[in-house]
Amino acid sequence: MAENASDLANPPSGDAAPTAVLTVLTTIDAREKAEALARGAVAERVAACAQISGPVTSVYRWKGEVIIGREWQVLLKTTAVRFEALAAYLRAAHDYDTPEIIATPVTHGDPAYLAWVGDETHPQ
């Protein structure tokens, strides 16, 4: 078991992932739009897969006002190498002025799954 956060970020050499994988989170205001973002990202090979959850209640400040709204979360899997391409896709396809695009590194995972993410996001 890892003793601290740096142990998670730097696993022992035998445990290192063959491909640096990220989960990328975005939100949008309709299920159909979430499905379109997910499908497009996978079709463009900038994400290997996506899960859609929702609706969720989001609370945020926008243009000086506190907003409470209903959104759908889209969690995409990609590689660190393909992150910028995925972010560019999301910015272009999203209808929010400032879409949430947050990447989190996957520190551990099944090697076969991580390799699959790499294979599915490799440009053809």
- pLDDT tens per residue across span 47-92: 999 999 999 999 999 999 999 999 999 999 999 999 999 999 999 9
The half-sphere exposure of 47 on its side-chain side, counting CA atoms within 13 A, is 24
Q: In the CATH hierarchy, which top-level class contains the domain 20-120?
A: alpha beta
Structure tokens at 113: 């799954």
**pLDDT score at 1:** 39
Q: Write the CA distances from 6 to 12, 14, 105, integer angstroms.
A: 11, 16, 13
**pTM as predicted:** 0.84
Domain range list for the chain: 20-120
Query: pLDDT (tens digit, 9 = 90+) per residue, 105-119?
Result: 999 999 999 999 999
AA identity, residue 35: E
Residue-wise burial string across 57-86, b where 16 or more C-beta atoms lie within 10 A, e elsewhere: ebeeeeeeeeeeeebbbbbbbbbeebbebb
Omega into 55 within 30° of 0, i.e. cis? Answer: yes
Residue 14 has pLDDT above 80, yes or no: no
Q: From CA 122, how far away is CA 119, in angstroms rounded?
A: 5
- Give the burial class of 100: count Cβ atoms within 10 A of its Cβ; 0-12 exposed, 13-18 middle, 19 or more buried: middle
Q: Please say whether the beta carbons of 120 and 79 come within 8 A.
A: no
